[in-house]
Amino acid sequence: MTVGETGRGMLELTRPVNVIAASVLTFIGAFVAGGVGEEPVAVVAAVAATGLAVGAGNAINDYFDQEIDRINQPERAIPRGAVSPRGALVFSVVLFAGAVALALTLPGLAIAIAAVNLLALIAYTEVFKGLPGLGNALVAYLVGSTFLFGAAAVDEIGPAVVLFVLAGTATLTREIIKDVEDIEGDREEGLNTLPIAIGERRALGVAAVLLVLAVVASPVPFLRGEFGVAYLLLVVPADAVMLAAAYESFEDPTVGQSRLKYGMFLASLAFIVGRAALEVSLTM
């Protein structure tokens, strides 16, 4: 195996798309909190720490899943021999160390969030992945907490709390729908996901109720005067897209969970536009 192939294998372990997506969410959290211009060094440290932590978490998950992946995902880096299991473990430790070093430069709340998230990333595969609902909830928390981490990095949580709730709950809904989509494969692997434990229709019902609660919470920044009409004009259609996707998942989980992503993206955009409009109004 050449150095180039090993390097590509290590990059694959991190799941670069996931790394970039999580880093962007952290940046959005800092932007929504209004700290990008005031605390640029802290924002860069938080974004980089997020990317390293997500890459480390993905690498350690592949290390723990290496036997399953030899059967289900033989093209992945460890099964195909691009990276040795020991190499993947060492690589993940190095990435975790980098994430910790950067996180320690941030305010106390951001450090606390980072510590919880690092432990969660390590524990996910071995402890939570096969537990009905809990694995989904952990993934949802980790996605939502990237917004909180970005906001905490600039020492101003503010409206990022609502973004955390909306993103986390929408992610939990999507994770449950994905489990319904993957139910046959999960049964063969011996996993006990929520749809397997309580049935597909009940699991979809739980997902829909959770999403409704998130939608109910979404106008809070507008009602509290944190964002203006620009936020509301985007978050309302985002809510409609997500509710329609949840309803559609009862007939076609694959289409439902896919379209739910668009609603989540639009909701994130609503927060960005809301903050940008507020910045403009403050300068006028």
**What pLDDT does 282 receive?**
63
More confident call, 268 vs 283: 268
For residue 147, CA distances in Å to 116, 193, 270 come to 14, 27, 14
More confident call, 71 vs 224: 224
pTM of the predicted protein model? 0.83
pLDDT in tens, 101-135: 999 999 999 999 999 988 887 777 667 766 777 88
Q: Which of 235, 263, 231, 236 is nearest to 249 (CA)?
A: 263
Q: Choose from 40-44, 55-59, 171-175 the range with maximum mean pLDDT.
A: 40-44
CA quadruple 70, 72, 77, 82: dihedral positive or negative? Answer: positive
